[in-house]
Each structure stands twice: as structure tokens, then as C-alpha cells.
Amino acid sequence: MPLVVTEVVRFEALPLEARGSRRVIVRWSDGSVGEALRWYDDEVLVSEGDVLGKTQTELRQLHGRRDRDWLRGD
């Protein structure tokens, strides 16, 4: 069974040399805590409501859709 985000622990800014400028740290349904998603905040907007209840696959799909929309100018 895939892990699901049960709680957003924090959003973090990343250093300039990192891949991405923001990330979200979450608690997964198995109790573990870790990074769920990383993105560039000038291209993609992510909020707590976007993350809660999602699997890793759903989060990748969300990021892909939003990134594609940004590239298309939608």
C-alpha cells in the first residue's frame, strides 16, 4: 500500500546551489518524516492543502502538471 501524507511538518527554503528553491517536509502514513516534494517557487505554487492525503505518485503528477502549465504560460 502506498504511503500517504498525513501531516505537513514544515516548508523550507533551500540554498541557492540546491536543485529547487523550496521543499515540503511531511509525515507519512507509516509515521516516517521526510521530503515529499521539491520545486522552484517562481514556477510552481504548493500549499498544505495540495499535499495532504496525497501519495508520492500523486505529488509527482501534481508537480508535473503545474510545471507544464507554467511552461505553457497557462
pLDDT in tens, 28-45: 999 999 999 999 988 888
Between the CA of residue 50 and those of 1, 14, 25, 53, 71, what are the distances in Å?
21, 20, 13, 8, 20
pLDDT at res. 43: 83
Q: What is the pTM of this model?
A: 0.86
Q: Is the sign of the CA dihedral 62, 13, 49, 31 positive or negative?
A: positive
Report whether pLDDT(68) > 80. no
Average pLDDT, rounded, for the chain: 91
Give the cell for residue 31: 509515521
Closest to 10 (Cα-Cα) out of 22, 25, 27, 31: 25
Report whether pLDDT(74) > 70. no
pLDDT at res. 33: 98
